[in-house]
Chains A and B, each alone.
Chain A
Amino acid sequence: MSEESGIDVYRRRFLSGSATAAAGMAVVPGVFLHEIGHAKPAADPVTSEVRWGMLIDTNKCAEGCNDCVTACNDEHGLTGHDRPETDAQWIRKVKLKDKQTGHTQTLPLLCQHCEHPPCVDVCPTGASFKRDDGIVLVDKHICIGCRYCMMACPYKARSFIHETLQDQLPHAPRGKGTVESCTFCVHRVDNDGTPACVEACSAENHNAMVFGDLNDPSSEISKGLKQHSTHQIRADLQLNTGVRYRGI
């Protein structure tokens, strides 16, 4: 069993790492990388070999830009009732102001995908859970809507759905009476994709967000974390967040 998963990891690293540059070339006659080049075959479970994370460079985050928020709302069909207090919000722009100097900066705040998530600790039903690859989700089939997790989350990352919803999207099931938050676009990540917010930020050439595997030393995010000084928001809580910030 362990041998099997060892091979799997090797194969995955091989396909996603060094080999991607050669994608399209034949590995052995008749086998092309782009035919087998998915990071994770659909039938394979996620493993703790990978830990997904995000590095946000607040110096690059443009004041007045809201593209990550819009992209998230579009991606998941988050519609509101013009009631900012209670409308669902998975990612929001926060503006920081130094009272002394008047210096301002903005940053996107989302579920930090904590390694030790308080939302999971307090959930009485087991609906809040962390996947092996570090993505924190709500199993809405089990969630009873008690909202303990919303109280426990230090980042106010979660929303409760108060109203009956219609026209949800196939990849983003959502419903009244349950709590939800950023999923790191798990439906994309499982298909070798990048979260919608990161994509939108890059599309505008801001490139303030990097998504990747914290466990892989050769990933862009790991290199960024090694090279620069970065922070966890509320590092004092020792949650070991998956989302890190530069420039705060």
Chain B
Amino acid sequence: MLKNSFILLLLAFTAGFAMQGQAGDSLLPEIPEAQARFSEAQGCVEPTAEMRKNHMDYILHQRDETMYEGIRTRQYSLNECINCHVSDAEDAPRVSSEEHFCNSCHSYAAVKVDCFQCHADRPVKTSDNQSFSTTGKPALQIIDSLHALETEGTVHE
């Protein structure tokens, strides 16, 4: 009896390793580790299975609440997804790479992800903002008088 359960245990172990090996052979997406856990009991902000299936609904709901109502809670914020799931290292993979958290799965599932045409695909520290260059605009736009502004505008009847 004891011997049997030992063999079972051994089998379970080897099976586990075999499966991991398979993931490495790129049949399944390799998903980068998150930087932190939501709680001791839970990795992500909802159970992982729920997030895998329905993350877009959470993000979409939060998106409208933030934009229209100024609600800025962090739990389902896209910025917080990125802060936790993407490294802020200079050479960290960007969303175009399959090593980026979002794209690792999205490319596997062949689902195009549009978010990052506008949104940041990596954490950016606000103090770093200054490193972005600014527009090469002339400092002043000269108009003759306020009246010029008036005649340029659209008049609403």
* Residues of A in contact with B (beta carbons under 8 Å apart): 40, 42-46, 64, 66, 69-70, 73-75, 77-80, 82, 84, 87-89, 92-99, 106, 118, 129, 131-133, 137, 139-141, 151-156, 164-165, 167-171, 173-176, 178, 186-187, 190-191, 233-234, 236-237, 248
- 13 further interface pairs, Cβ-Cβ under 8 Å (given A80-B134, A80-B137): A82-B136, A84-B137, A87-B136, A95-B142, A96-B143, A129-B68, A131-B68, A154-B153, A156-B152, A168-B119, A170-B82, A233-B149, A248-B146
Consensus secondary structure, chain A interface: loop
Given contacts A42-B74, A94-B143, A95-B142, contact A79 B67 (CB under 8 A): no
Q: Report the separation of the CA atoms of residues A133 and B118 in the bound assembly, to the nearest whole angstrom.
A: 25
Q: Report the separation of the CA atoms of residues A130 and B155 in the bound assembly, to the nearest whole angstrom.
A: 21
Given contacts A87-B135, A170-B119, contact A190 B70 (CB under 8 A): yes
- CB B141 to nearest CB in A, in angstroms, measures 6
Given contacts A74-B130, A118-B154, contact A40 B70 (CB under 8 A): yes
Q: Report the separation of the CA atoms of residues A169 and B119 in the bound assembly, to the nearest whole angstrom.
A: 7
Q: In the complex, what residues of A have CB within 8 A of residue B150's CB?
A: 234, 236
Q: Jot down 19 A-B pairs with beta carbons below 8 A, ordered by A.
A: A42-B74, A45-B69, A45-B71, A73-B134, A74-B132, A80-B137, A88-B135, A94-B140, A97-B143, A106-B140, A129-B68, A140-B118, A151-B154, A167-B120, A169-B132, A170-B82, A173-B118, A233-B146, A248-B146
Q: Is the CB of B72 within 8 A of A190?
A: yes
Q: Report the separation of the CA atoms of residues A205 and B144 in the bound assembly, to the nearest whole angstrom.
A: 28
Consensus secondary structure, chain B interface: loop
Instruction: Return the contact of A87 from the options B68, B117, B137, B143 (Cβ within 8 A).
Output: B137
Given contacts A64-B139, A77-B129, A95-B140, contact A152 B82 (CB under 8 A): no
Q: Is the CB of B135 within 8 A of A45?
A: no
Closest 7 CB pairs of A and B: A80-B135, A154-B153, A175-B118, A45-B69, A73-B134, A46-B70, A173-B118
Q: In the complex, what residues of B have CB within 8 A of residue A66's CB?
A: 139-140
Q: In the complex, what residues of A have CB within 8 A of residue B123's CB?
A: 170
Q: Is the CB of B132 within 8 A of A84?
A: no
Q: Which residue of A lies closest to B138 (CB)?
A: A84
Q: Is the CB of B117 within 8 A of A74?
A: no
Q: Report the separation of the CA atoms of residues A236 and B136 in the bound assembly, to the nearest whole angstrom.
A: 34
Q: Which residue of A lies closest to B80 (CB)?
A: A170
Q: In the complex, what residues of A have CB within 8 A of residue B117's CB?
A: 164-165, 175-176
Q: In the complex, what residues of B have CB within 8 A of residue A94's CB?
A: 140-143, 149
- Say yes or no for B79: interface residue by CB 8 A criterion: yes
Instruction: Return the contact of A77 from the options B67, B132, B152 (Cβ within 8 A).
Output: B132
- Say yes or no for B39: interface residue by CB 8 A criterion: no
Q: In the complex, what residues of A have CB within 8 A of residue B71's CB?
A: 42-45
Given contacts A42-B72, A73-B135, A155-B153, contact A169 B142 (CB under 8 A): no
